[in-house]
Amino acid sequence: MGVDGELLASRILVVDDEESCLQDLRDVLKGWGFTEVVGTCDVAEGLGLLRRERPDLVMLDMHLPDIEGLGLLSELGDRYHGEGTYLPVLVLADDASEATKLRTLALGAHDYVTKPFSASEVRLRATHLLETRRLHRQVERHSRHLEHLVTERTSEVVATRHEVLDRLALAAEFRDDDTKAHTRRVGHNTALVAQSMGMSPTEVHDIRRAAPLHDLGKIGIPDHVLLKPGKLTEEEFEIIKTHSVVGARILDGTDFPLLEVARQIAIAHHERFDGTGYPNGLRGEAIPLVARMTSVIDVFDALVHERCYKPAWPTERAVEEITSQAGRQFDPDVVEVFVRLAADERLQI
């Protein structure tokens, strides 16, 4: 039986305590056409060759002078079989007992040949093990390729979702923010607050993406109310207040975690820490933390930028106003972090 060219290029490591047997095996293997054959009678050198050569097949004698063959076989299993790499081991042994065979296979050997062995048997078993390794590596490469494709497609899906969310946020702001930058600033600055409050990178990322959707429900508010210059009537203000519920309804009913964060923000970013906010009159920590953080940043951004109903405030005055509302409109802990970020000039304005 011939051996194909790819298998003949395989690296084979032979570890045998008898120099004559070792030399015979190397000669036989090279005579069959295997060009990458290394061997040793020394256990320590064998382990070194194993690390340097990265063989495709190990032919291991069971009775080595420095350590029992079973011990070396166990060490091979501990070092290499847990890494997902299939490294076949062909054991060469004088003991043909069933107990020794079973113990050898249990420790990680893939095949077993009893001395004295025939060259044709060794060739057949070695070829089968090398072919198995080749197939195993093909499966590994295919698996890595599939993982890459899945990662790539997942990234594309996530990127598409994020783009849709960005455009939804812009759709809401398009009607009452000439710069179209309010949502971006709210997302960035709320994420800064979240990070400073010790939230995880994943949570910070989600808040950065979700906070810009806080006013998504504005798309359901009539222009004559939303864009009215000057003070709203009580009836008009009641209409404005519905945007939090509308936004939450748009974002409800999804298994996408980021949208659940956005829903919590949309429904609760006008709740007040003292319980006098809307739409549900939540108080204190009953208000989701993501909404409490967004609330501070949303009001701050509205204060320092011109709107159709008001001029822009100086930053210092806006910070003072936010501070004065700690414990009433805003969570005092969030305000404390916000003031520190403002003092360090880290907020986008």
Q: Which residues contact 95 (CB under 8 A, 6 or more apart)?
A: 62, 114
In a domain, 348, yes or no: no
pLDDT score of 313 more than 60 = yes
Let me know whether 310 and 244 are in one domain. Answer: yes
Question: Comparing C-alpha atoms, which of 166, 150, 147 is closest to residue 258?
Answer: 166
In a domain, 157, yes or no: no
In a domain, 156, yes or no: no
pLDDT of residue 260: 92
Q: What is the pLDDT of residues 187-235, one digit of tens each?
A: 999 999 999 999 999 999 999 999 999 999 988 888 888 888 888 899 9
pLDDT score of 324 more than 60 = yes
pLDDT score of 243 more than 70 = yes
pLDDT of residue 346: 95
Number of H helices, E strands in the chain: 15, 5
Specify the amino acid at residue 10. Answer: S
Let me know whether 204 and 259 are in one domain. Answer: yes
The better pLDDT of the pair 337, 138 is held by 337
Q: Render the burial of 11-36: b for 16+ CB within 10 Å, e for the rest.
A: bbbbbbbeeebbeebbeebeebebee
Let me know whether 16 and 130 are in one domain. Answer: yes
pLDDT score of 312 more than 70 = yes
Let me know whether 179 and 314 are in one domain. Answer: yes
Let me know whether 121 and 231 are in one domain. Answer: no
Q: What is the pLDDT of residues 145-194, one digit of tens each?
A: 888 778 777 777 777 777 777 777 777 666 665 546 888 899 999 999 99
Which residue(s) pair with 13 in the sheet?
38, 58
The domain tally of the chain equals 2
pLDDT score of 240 more than 70 = yes
In a domain, 336, yes or no: yes
Q: Which two tokens stand for residue 217?
A: 């429900």
User: Where is the domain boundary, 107, 126, 145?
Assistant: 145
Q: What is the pLDDT of residues 17-64, one digit of tens each?
A: 777 778 878 888 888 888 888 888 877 777 778 778 788 888 887 665
| Number of neighbours of residue 311 by Cβ within 10 angstroms | 7
**Length of the chain, in residues:** 349
Q: Can you tell me the mean pLDDT for 294-312?
A: 90
User: Where is the domain boundary, 104, 129, 145?
Assistant: 145
pLDDT score of 68 more than 70 = no
Alpha-carbon gap, residue 243 to 165, rounded angstroms: 17
Mean pLDDT of the chain: 84
CATH number for the domain harbouring residue 264: 1.10.3210.10
Let me know whether 234 and 135 are in one domain. Answer: no
Alpha-carbon gap, residue 126 to 147, rounded angstroms: 31
Q: What is the DSSP string of 76-104?
A: HHHHHGGGT----EEEEES---HHHHHHH
Let me know whether 180 and 84 are in one domain. Answer: no
CATH number for the domain harbouring residue 82: 3.40.50.2300
Let me know whether 288 and 331 are in one domain. Answer: yes
Domain of 62 in residue numbering reads as 5-145
Let me know whether 115 and 227 are in one domain. Answer: no
